[in-house]
Structures are given as structure tokens and as C-alpha cells.
């Protein structure tokens, strides 16, 4: 059986990964901003490329989660 992960599913997964990250408490504002970006995209079914600001925020979150 082949499971296809849609962009919407990927956004949900990213949101949950941020929400339950061990680094969440230390980076509350940044992480919540990332969650809001993803929630808005999901709500409006907007899966176009991220803006520069959105991309920067998500990259910062990724760096914090990797530390």
C-alpha cells in the first residue's frame, strides 16, 4: 500500500512537530508565530511558496529545534 502525503498533511505535521518540540517553552513567541503561519495556510488552503518572512521564521524554528 502506498501512502501519499499531501502538502496539507505536511503542514499539519510541521505544526504538530513545532507544538510538541522540546524547545517550545524556550522559544514560545517564535514557535507560536510559526504555528500561526501554518494554521493560516491550512485554513485558507494556501500551499503556495512561503513569503520571505514566513520562510525566515520557519528556518529559525528549525534551527532552534535542531540545537
CB 42 within 8 A of CB 13: no
Q: What's the CA gap between 56 and 50, in Å, rounded?
A: 9
3-state class (DSSP) for residue 21: coil
pTM over 0.85: yes
pLDDT in tens, 23-46: 999 999 999 999 999 999 999 999
Residue 3 pLDDT > 80: no
Name the more confident of 47 and 2: 47
Across the range 48-65, mean pLDDT stands at 97
Domain segments of the chain as ranges: 7-66
Amino acid at each position: 500500500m502506498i501512502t501519499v502525503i499531501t502538502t496539507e498533511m505536511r503542514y499539519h505535521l510541521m505544526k504538530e512537530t513545532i507544538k510538541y518540540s522540546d524547545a517550545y517553552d524556550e522559544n514560545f513567541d517564535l514557535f507560536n508565530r510559526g504555528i500561526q503561519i501554518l494554521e493560516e495556510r491550512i485554513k485558507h488552503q494556501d500551499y503556495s511558496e512561503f513569503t520571505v518572512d514566513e520562510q525566515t521564521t520557519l528556518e529559525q524554528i528549525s534551527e532552534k529545534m535542531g540545537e
